[in-house]
Amino acid sequence: MTQRTNRKMIARHLARAVVLAGIGLYVARLSAVGNLGLYISPRMAVYTKLAAAALYLIAAALVYQSLKEWDVQRDAGCGEACGHASAPASPWLSQLRAVVLFALPLALFFLTPDTTIGSAMAARKGMNLSGGTAAHAIKTDSAATSAPPDANELDRLFPHDSLTKPYADYGKLLYAKPEIEIKDWRYLETLTTLNFFPDSFVGRRAEVSGFVYRDDTIGQGQFVLGRFAIQCCAADAIPYGIVVESTDAAKYANDDWMTVSGTFAKTTIDGAEVLLLKADAATKIEPAKDPYVYPDMDFGV
């Protein structure tokens, strides 16, 4: 065991400790300023925080170990019996590689602002305008021409089979409201329900918020108000949205956050029939503190 290899080992331990503690610190800082939610969903954030704590501990152990090595080296009493492995001769290049691959991205994570993804990403991923589940052919006889009694009026508006019953039930709930507020909670389930029974909601009032999005399938005087639904992290975000028709459509820039209220009508976008909101009031708002929406796992269970 030469002094040089030992010094190398100490340096390596310390460099690794710095990187590990750096990752831990990054997670801690994100969590402290409330930006962790831009990257991962709340149910996964717990695990990431635990991992950060574990990285701190490992980093501390590495520092402690290099201190011990340092003592050993000062005593210079290290013989073969110590049981130390000698450090592998590491070429300068591979050391640099390790630094590039960890320290640099980390530094950039710290130095660049935390942002959410926006309309550019939505365009790449493809905006979904008809909610989360594809249209499902319901086997009912919709040709009920005789005027049904009142109790069956709702059933006629919301035909369902066993699979779509949760959506029909939720649809009846929405239908009973004077104005349908499309909130973060059950955002996705609400959009799906609306597009399952578009005819039942035509003419009803609704209010929705989101970021402005456009692509070439959207007509003149129209834009989409969208939100990203997240499962685990921002990488699996899926954009969902509602088409809005407004005389002032041209005024609003992509990625502006808006709240729009109006009445539902039907339209065809890119060959698919979807609901459209005819705006009668629109206000610019601050982006939501948590820009994402999350599927409700308990829906219909």
Partner 1 sequence: MANAAYKWTLTLSAALTLALLYFIATERQMPWPDSLSGIGADQWQSVKTVFVSLFLEALPFVLLGVLVSTVLHLFVPETALARLIPRNPLLGVLCAGLLGVVLPVCECGMIPVVRRLLRKGMPAYIGMTYILAAPIVNPVTVLATYSAFRTAPEMALYRTVLGFAAAAAVGLLLSRARGKSSNPLKPDAPSLHAAAADHNHHAPHRAPSSRLLSYCSHAADEFFEMGKFLMLGAFLTAVIQTFVSRGELIELGGGAFGSHLFMMGFAYVISLCSTSDAFVAASFSGVFPAGALLAFLVYGPMVDFKNTLMLLSAFKARFVLRLLVLVTAVVLAASLLAGWLLESAAR
Complex with partner 1: residue 25 or 205, whichever CB lies closer = 25
Q: Report the distance separating Cα 289 and Cα 38, nearest Å.
A: 9
As measured in angstroms, the least distance from the Cβ of 285 to partner 1 is 20
Q: What is the DSSP letter of 202?
A: T
Q: Report the distance separating Cα 139 and Cα 143, nearest Å.
A: 12
Chosen residue from 166, 219, 256, 257 binding partner 1 by CB under 8 A: 166
Asked if residue 11 binds partner 1 (CB under 8 A), the reply is no
Complex with partner 1: residue 239 or 262, whichever CB lies closer = 239
Residues 78-117 that bind partner 1 (CB under 8 A): 83-85, 87-88, 93, 97-98, 100-102, 104-105, 108-109, 111-117
Q: Report the distance separating Cα 15 and Cα 124, nearest Å.
A: 39
Residues 258-287 that bind partner 1 (CB under 8 A): 272
Chosen residue from 10, 21, 62, 242 binding partner 1 by CB under 8 A: 62
Residues 195-254 that bind partner 1 (CB under 8 A): 229, 231-236, 238
Asked if residue 173 binds partner 1 (CB under 8 A), the reply is no
Asked if residue 193 binds partner 1 (CB under 8 A), the reply is no
Q: For the chain, count helices (H), then strands (E).
A: 8, 7
Letter string b/e over residues 143-172, b meaning 16 or more CB atoms within 10 A of that residue's CB: eeeeeeeeeeeeeeebbbeeebebbbebbb
Complex with partner 1: residue 196 or 223, whichever CB lies closer = 196
Q: Report the distance separating Cα 76 and Cα 1, nearest Å.
A: 10
Sign of the torsion angle spanned by Cα atoms 218, 119, 170, 222: negative
Q: What is the DSSP letter of 260?
A: E
Give the number of other CB atoms < 10 A from CB of residue 214.
17
Stretch touching partner 1 by CB under 8 A, among 145-153, 173-181, 219-227, 292-300: 292-300
Complex with partner 1: residue 254 or 263, whichever CB lies closer = 254
As measured in angstroms, the least distance from the Cβ of 282 to partner 1 is 23
Say whether 174 sits in a helix, a strand or coil: helix
Asked if residue 51 binds partner 1 (CB under 8 A), the reply is yes
What pairs with residue 238 in β-bridges?
229
As measured in angstroms, the least distance from the Cβ of 232 to partner 1 is 5
Complex with partner 1: residue 132 or 219, whichever CB lies closer = 132
Q: What are phi and psi of 198, to 5 degrees?
A: -60, -40
Stretch touching partner 1 by CB under 8 A, among 55-63, 149-157, 256-264, 282-290: 55-63
Judged by CB under 8 A, the number of residues near partner 1 is: 80
